[in-house]
Amino acid sequence: MKKHNYSAGPCILPQEVFEKSAQAILDFNQMGLSLLEISHRSDEFVAVIEEARTLVLELLGLQGKGYQALFLHGGASLEFLMVPYNLMKVNGKAGYLETGTWASGAIKEAKLFGETLILGSSKEANFNHIPKGYEIPKSLDYFHCTSNNTIYGTQMKAFPEVDTVRVCDMSSDIFSRTLDFSKFDLIYAGAQKNMGPAGATLVVVKEEILGKTGRTIPSMLDYQLHIAKESMYNTPPVFSIYASLLNLQWLKKQGGIAGIEKINNAKAELLYAEIDRNPLFKGTAVKEDRSYMNATFVLENEAHTPIFDQIWEQAGISGLKGHRSVGGYRASLYNALPLESVQVLVDTMKALENKV
């Protein structure tokens, strides 16, 4: 039976990425060696990481604009620490938008380095919306936001104008929709949400914002050092970077971000239309802030849970359960999920309506 993978991360990837990755593990580039055993400094892998870094900037429209793309370790969670280390001045100040669990984690780390202002928060409403109407002081070293919130199913549809450095955690919706990425000075994302397998972290940074904090930064946490070493300061996550490259190549063949955005919009609109139509279900995020990557919803009557769970599991759907901290259901609609899979989910929701 075909599986329909709604996992929030590690997430679905294109079938051709799995096939090419599997072949590379057996024999990479007809070298007679596995990708897993070659030197990360070999010509063959250097070509991989250079193409991946170039393709990132190409897809984001940032080539020739003073940006560097880095593949690092530690996931987005380490970037919670690296961002203030590299951007918050001694005795400095940063502003954060608190829109979910991961934003709260970033705020916690920033507080270790200096004054950290929460400019807007939706915590009291269980993060069911994106805060609006907040003010951004001009004295900040940087402004930080999270573009998409996987747990609560919200997404920023617009970004505030700022007079300082703008940082965005785009872990769960990077490469999924068109934006003017040049309006961001630093973007970071864990690969496992919409780009590749777990293990690599993407950082896209404008070089001119670095080196101004007055801090002594440990080597492994210093963006400038990683730029100078071309993401090779220490052994990079070879397999994750290679699979990410394959995924970026696949994305380019889909028409790039603009091409995949049309498909993503169709998927989200199909699912949300059923959530709103079907009296047995209710979306958990405010409609204007609904995520097009992670749709969260609940049953109006929890007594229907075992019946619905049986229906979708028998339909070959996987990974639909909501995050353990909030319950309900979460359909992650990442780039590689086909529209066909969304239709299968919609059909199971209609089947429940007919059954009860």
Q: Which residues are catalytic?
A: 102, 169, 193
Determine contact, residues 329/322, Cβ cutoff 8 Å: yes
Please report, to the nearest 10 degrees, the dihedral formed by the alpha carbons of residues 228, 229, 234, 238 taken in order: 130
Helix, strand, coil distribution of the chain in percent, nearest 5: 40, 20, 40
Determine contact, residues 48/55, Cβ cutoff 8 Å: no
Q: Residue 235 corresponds to which tokens in the numbers above?
A: 């052994």
The candidate with the shortest Cα–Cα distance to 345, out of 318, 324, 327, is 318
User: Helix/strand/coil (H, E, C) string of 146-183?
Assistant: ECEECCCCEECCCCCCCCCEEEEECCCCCCCCCCCHHH
Determine contact, residues 127/152, Cβ cutoff 8 Å: yes
Quickly count helices (H) and strands (E) in the chain. 9, 14
